[in-house]
């Protein structure tokens, strides 16, 4: 898939050639950027258009997290987030073969058979994050649904996963995916992402109609969105 770099962010896009006179760029809620262009439009021309509209594309990508260089080392004392707070990690030799992580007395205690195995340390912490995320989102989603004040929501499914570059998505199959790493953020921001995705069940785009609904169910969404943009997904 072709891509461009803009302000440290990558925009990947799909090009579909169809019988039409003008080029159209659309941003879907699952972050796909689709360009529909007349046959024989050059890739360079499309690239130029994407660059010109990069600001707009990124603005429409509220799911997109800020790109951050891979700076996480998983070494003792390094701080990791949970619900908006930072806690240092404390890596200890596990007595058995199994790795585990827990939050205790203001630190993450990570038990691993081999203290030099960074991948194992990361996996143990990620597993803990995933469990916390699933439990919390399962509580928060029904609460977020109540904001719709009786508006009947289409049936949907949800799940969590770790994915790069975005906090959440809502597909045409009405499946909402929430990034496990949301669990690192303040609850008000998690709630924003959940409500943002729920609104996509009604409007599969970021049209004025979509934002009118979002504002209705979450009047302070702009402040939350702004705060979310200050966070880096790593």
Cβ atoms of 182 and 190 within 8 Å: the answer is: yes
If the CB atoms of residues 29 and 57 are measured against Zn ion, the closer one turns out to be: 29
Q: Which two tokens stand for residue 222?
A: 């702009």
d(CA 161, CA 167): 10
- We find the least distance from the C-beta atom of residue 39 to Zn ion, in angstroms, to be 31
Shortest Cβ contact with Zn ion: which residue?
Answer: 29
Binding mask 21-40 for Zn ion (x = CB under 5 A): --------x-----------
- We find the least distance from the C-beta atom of residue 167 to Zn ion, in angstroms, to be 10
d(CA 90, CA 111): 9
- We find the least distance from the C-beta atom of residue 128 to Zn ion, in angstroms, to be 28
> For residues 73-132, which are near Zn ion according to CB under 5 A?
none
If the CB atoms of residues 2 and 171 are measured against Zn ion, the closer one turns out to be: 171
Q: Is 115 exposed, middle or buried, given 0-12, 13-18 or 19+ CB atoms closer than 10 A?
A: middle
Q: What residues contact 40, with CB distance under 8 A and at least 6 apart?
A: 17
d(CA 21, CA 5): 27
- Reported in sequence order, the residue ranges of the chain that DSSP labels E, i.e. its strands, are 3-6, 9-12, 14-17, 24-27, 33-37, 79-82, 85-93, 100-104, 107-112, 157-161, 168-170, 175-179
- We find the least distance from the C-beta atom of residue 29 to Zn ion, in angstroms, to be 4
d(CA 160, CA 147): 21
If the CB atoms of residues 49 and 204 are measured against Zn ion, the closer one turns out to be: 204
- We find the least distance from the C-beta atom of residue 200 to Zn ion, in angstroms, to be 6
If the CB atoms of residues 29 and 177 are measured against Zn ion, the closer one turns out to be: 29
Binding-residue total with Zn ion (CB under 5 A): 1
If the CB atoms of residues 80 and 200 are measured against Zn ion, the closer one turns out to be: 200
If the CB atoms of residues 29 and 231 are measured against Zn ion, the closer one turns out to be: 29
Q: What residues contact 50, with CB distance under 8 A and at least 6 apart?
A: 4, 11, 13, 25, 33, 35, 57
- We find the least distance from the C-beta atom of residue 69 to Zn ion, in angstroms, to be 25
Write out the residues near Zn ion by the rule CB under 5 A. Answer: 29
């Amino acid at each position: 898939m072709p891509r461009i770099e803009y302000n440290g962010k990558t925009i990947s896009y799909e090009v579909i050639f169809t019988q039409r006179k003008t080029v159209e760029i659309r941003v879907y809620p699952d972050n796909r950027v689709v360009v529909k262009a007349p046959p024989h439009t050059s890739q360079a021309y499309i690239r130029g258009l994407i660059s010109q509209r990069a600001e707009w594309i990124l603005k429409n990508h509220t799911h997109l997290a800020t790109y951050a260089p891979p700076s996480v080392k998983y070494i003792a004392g390094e701080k990791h987030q949970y619900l908006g707070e930072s806690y240092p990690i404390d890596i200890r030799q596990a007595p058995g073969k199994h790795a585990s992580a827990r939050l205790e007395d203001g630190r993450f205690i990570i038990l691993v058979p081999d203290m030099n195995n960074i991948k194992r340390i990361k996996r143990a912490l990620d597993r803990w994050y995933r469990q916390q995320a699933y439990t919390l989102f399962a509580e928060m989603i029904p609460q977020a649904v109540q904001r719709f004040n009786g508006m009947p929501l289409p049936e949907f499914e949800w799940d969590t996963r770790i994915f790069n570059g975005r906090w959440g998505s809502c597909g045409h199959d009405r499946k909402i995916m929430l990034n496990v790493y949301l669990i690192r953020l303040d609850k008000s921001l998690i709630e924003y992402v959940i409500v943002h995705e729920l609104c996509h069940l009604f409007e599969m785009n970021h049209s004025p109609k979509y934002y009118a609904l979002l504002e209705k169910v979450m009047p302070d969404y702009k402040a939350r969105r702004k705060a979310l943009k200050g966070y880096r997904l790593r």
